[in-house]
Structure 1
């Protein structure tokens, strides 16, 4: 919703201010389709040249984040802490019993309680692979932490590709606008024998290219890139929380301490309160009793 409001605000303020200043939309509307074909077409071509198929699909999908916001909400972080609590407690009570859950999370009575988390393959793989390592007596917490950090960093770098690709296009749009404007000036020079009123309209149409390139770059594509980057970084906190809790577990801290470490490392806008998490964990214990 905020993204849509932002787009409407940009359009109303820019064109509204232009009209209030006495500007006329006729020249812009006449030149806009042709300038848009040149600028947007060139930008699309540059985007296709600089990215492969999966990256293009990934970028198109990630543009929806501008309107949807981060994937993980407050309740998801609470659910993740509850999921990790159940797994760690079971692993300490019965190491053999936890294996069926980490080897087949889709059929696990624990994982299936949290369908949103279960749908995220990377989150499930991160949990299961680390729990599996712990069950194999992989007892060097520092080495496990390093492996997890490298894995999370690699995934984050991959996820950030969409914002980088959009920013490259944003950086190039003003120059493409100049290209379109220069072509418009070339067209104008071919009509140099026309009266001033005709030349004025031709020059005005050419300048629409410069306007459109800068307008798209700083009004839309650049902000889209920034928003996708912010949302991607926010979503990466979910995987960092998994790392913090599981490393604390490898350091043999009490189960409740491991979960508290995760709670305190949760971003403030999604962090459950201590009492809220306690109530959720108590409900788990009562249902298991």
Structure 2
């Protein structure tokens, strides 16, 4: 919704100001200029990106109207899940979670946390590293290094679409200039026409430059910034898991381990200490039985 509101504000301010100063919207309607700009930019996008990049870009653009998944409720569920896993490992040993990690969607540990299981990437990240802990003899430093590398790959994958959209935004003003030049060429070929008609042709040519700049700085560049912000937030979830797991591997109690993870959450989404304690209370009671 915020994206739509922002675009409406941009268009209303620009076109509204134009009307208020006495302009008319009719001359701004230049479909052929838009065809040259849009078609040129689309062609350049296809040339400069492989299938993986194009698919990633279209997938990312489909999420711009969705609210962020990284809510306070998700972090509460995530930290509670980690607490239960840590507690079970501390009480019954690593082998006790082997089935849970091999079959997370059938596990009693995971099934209570629907917001976590709704994101298969999160479930895979958690189960993979606990599975490594169960089946291997890796120390915390090795696990941490591997996690850092995977988080970096996740971030790089997310940046593919952002870079593609940024490049598209950078190219739109240039294609606007190309469309304007084509309009000027057409105008120069019509110098015998009356001044009023020549003025109309020149105005139509200048619309090309206007549209290129508007689409670049008013639409596509802000969309790239929005996707970058979403990527930063999605990366923090994995960092939160990493810090909590490494703390647990280093011997910290489950309560302290999840507290380490809580500190990695953005302040706007971070549950406070009392909220987390309240959320962990049922799991602590069940563990004391």
User: Where on the TM-score scale, by shorter chain, does this alignment land: which range?
Assistant: over 0.9
Which ranges in structure 1 are unaligned for 5 or more consecutive residues? none
Aligned to 2:56: 58
* Alpha-carbon contact 1:69-1:231 (below 8 Å) kept: no
Report what 1:88 is aligned to. 86
C-alpha distance in 2 between matches for 1:14 and 1:67: 23
Structure 2 gaps of 5+ residues are none
- Counterpart in 2 of 1:175? 174
User: What is the root-mean-square deviation in Å for CA atoms of aligned residues?
Assistant: 1.4
Separation of aligned partners in 1, 2:129 and 2:9: 47
Task: Report deviation, 1:139.
Answer: 4.2
Cα distance in 2 for partners of 1:212, 1:264 equals 45
1:174 touches 1:210 (CA, 8 Å); kept in 2? yes
CA contact (8 A) 2:77 2:115 kept: no
Q: Give the 4+ runs in structure 1 shifted more than 3 A.
A: 286-289
With normalisation by structure 2, the TM-score equals: 0.95
Aligned to 2:229: 230
- The match for 1:197 is 196
Kindly indicate whether residue 17 of structure 2 is the aligned counterpart of residue 17 of structure 1.
Answer: yes
Q: Distance in 2 between matches of 1:172 and 1:2?
A: 25
Superposed CA offset, 1:106-147 (max 9, x none):
111111112232232321222112112222353421121111
Deviations for 1:80-112, whole angstroms, at most 9, x for unmatched residues?
Answer: 000101111111222322110001111111111
Query: How many residues matched?
Result: 287
Question: 1:49 aligns to what?
Answer: 47
Q: Is the Cα contact below 8 Å between 2:179 and 2:205 reproduced in 1?
A: yes
Is the CA contact 2:79–2:261 (under 8 Å) kept in the aligned structure 1? Answer: yes
Q: Any idea what the Cα deviations from partners look like across 1:179-212, whole Å, max 9, x if unmatched?
A: 0001001111110111111110000000000000
Aligned to 2:124: 125
Contact 1:134-1:250 within 8 A present in 2 as well: no
Indicate whether 1:261 and 2:260 are aligned: yes
Q: What's 2:3 paired with? A: 3
